Structure formats: structure tokens, C-alpha cells
Amino acid sequence: MSTPSLSHARQLIDAALAAARQHGFKPMGVVVVDAAAQVVASAREDGASALRLEIALGKAAAAVGMGINSRLLAQRAKDLPAFFGAIASVAQQNFIPQTGAVLVLDADGQVLGAAGASGGSGDEDEQIVIAGIAAAGLRHA
């Protein structure tokens, strides 16, 4: 199984946080996980609240665990709240089906993992991880 390298993960996080600063978003936490939802790297900006990394991890783990970006998971969770509640209760990793995590792909379109952010709105979180993925020379779903 391929995974995002530590170097790619750090580039992604640095660029995502730079994008957050550029847009004046609230302090963020960003997490990059591999295809097994294991943390490759994470960072929480000064001033970010205590749960930012746990929330970002939950979003990224949900995305990679279900194989789709968390924006789609959030939409599906509205229609199937009991199903998604059951998944969250039995998942080995944190599982938060909310906008803010995006699958990270290699050049062939294979899932390497996911990047998740927390601190702004879901749209802002998603925007910065997409910027980070691009800056790291990777692709997103």
C-alpha cells in the first residue's frame, strides 16, 4: 500500500496553513493520514482550540474509511443518520462525516490517504487542504 510520504505530508500541511493565513481564516489544525487512517503528520496552529486535531483526524479517517471526500459523507449522513451514527460507534478510528477532508491520490488515481482540517467552516477547511494537496504535487479526488 502506498502512503503519502512524510515529506509530502509536511509540504501539504505547511501549504494548507499558509492558505489559511492568506485568507484570514481562524487558526487551524491539519492532519494527513495514510490509506489505513493512520496519522502521517499533523499540526495545530498557535491559537487553535484544543480539539482541532481530533476533529481533523475524524474527518480524514471518515473520508479514507469510506473512500469518498467528507463533503459527500456529510450529505449522506443527513439522509442516513442512524447508519452513520452506527459507523461512528464501531469504527476503530475517529469518524466525523463533516466537510473538511479530501482524499489524496497518486498520479495513477490510487488513494494514498486523506487530508483533513478543522478550525474554520467546512468549506474553509476543505479549501485549505485542497491548496495543500496541490502545493505538495499530489492530486485530490
- Can you give the pLDDT at residue 51? 97
Give yes or no for residue 130 having a pLDDT over 90: yes
- Can you give the pLDDT at residue 93? 87
pLDDT, tens digit (0-9, with 9 covering 90-100), for 75-114: 999 999 999 999 999 998 899 999 999 999 988 899 999 9
* Gap between the Cα atoms of 4 and 43, Å rounded: 16
For residue 95, give the nearest of 126, 123, 74 by alpha carbon. 74
* Gap between the Cα atoms of 28 and 120, Å rounded: 7
- Can you give the pLDDT at residue 6? 95
Catalogue all structural domains in the chain, each as residue range(s) with its CATH number.
6-140 (3.30.450.150)
pLDDT, tens digit (0-9, with 9 covering 90-100), for 51-78: 999 999 999 999 999 999 999 999 999 9
Give yes or no for residue 23 having a pLDDT over 80: yes
Contact 138, 44 (CB under 8 A): no
Beta strands in the chain (DSSP E): 29-34, 39-44, 101-105, 111-118, 139-140
